[in-house]
Amino acid sequence: MSFSHVEQFARVAEGAEHCVFHDPVRAVAVKATHVNRFGHSAFGEGVPATLLEYLDRLAMQNLLFGDDIRIEGVAFDEGQMEIITTQPWIVAHPDAPTASQPEIDAYFAEFGFRKVESQPSHSRDLAAGKADVCWVVGRGLAE
Full-model pTM: 0.74
Closest to 15 (Cα-Cα) out of 4, 31, 26, 27: 31
Task: Report the share of the chain in percent with pLDDT over 90.
Answer: 46
Q: What is the CATH number of the domain that holds 25?
A: 3.30.200
Regarding whether 31 and 83 lie in a shared domain, the answer is: yes
Q: Domain count of the chain?
A: 2
Backbone dihedral region of 109: left (phi > 0), alpha (psi from -120 to 50 degrees) or beta?
alpha
pLDDT in tens, 80-132: 999 999 999 988 888 888 888 898 889 888 888 877 765 444 443 444 444 44
Please give the pLDDT value at position 49: 92
The continuous run of DSSP H or E covering 103 comes out as: helix 101-110
Regarding whether 119 and 67 lie in a shared domain, the answer is: no
Regarding whether 74 and 7 lie in a shared domain, the answer is: yes
Regarding whether 71 and 123 lie in a shared domain, the answer is: no
Regarding whether 71 and 128 lie in a shared domain, the answer is: no
Q: What is the b/e burial string over 7-34, where b = at least 16 CB atoms within 10 angstroms of the residue's CB?
A: eebeeeeeeebbbbbbbeeeebbbbbbe
Regarding whether 130 and 83 lie in a shared domain, the answer is: no
Regarding whether 12 and 60 lie in a shared domain, the answer is: yes
Three-class secondary structure of residue 22 per DSSP: strand
Q: Which domain holds residue 29?
A: 3-88
49 with 58: CB under 8 angstroms?
Answer: no
State residue 128 phi and psi, 5-degree precision.
-135, 25
Regarding whether 62 and 35 lie in a shared domain, the answer is: yes
Regarding whether 45 and 13 lie in a shared domain, the answer is: yes
Regarding whether 118 and 81 lie in a shared domain, the answer is: no
Regarding whether 76 and 115 lie in a shared domain, the answer is: no
7 in a domain, yes or no?
Answer: yes
53 in a domain, yes or no?
Answer: yes
Q: What is the chain's mean pLDDT, rounded?
A: 82
State residue 52 phi and psi, 5-degree precision.
-65, -40
Three-class secondary structure of residue 96 per DSSP: coil
pLDDT in tens, 8-66: 999 999 988 899 999 999 999 999 999 999 988 888 888 999 999 999 999 999 988 88
pLDDT of residue 140 exceeding 80, the answer is no
∠ CA 67-134-98, rounded to 5°:
55
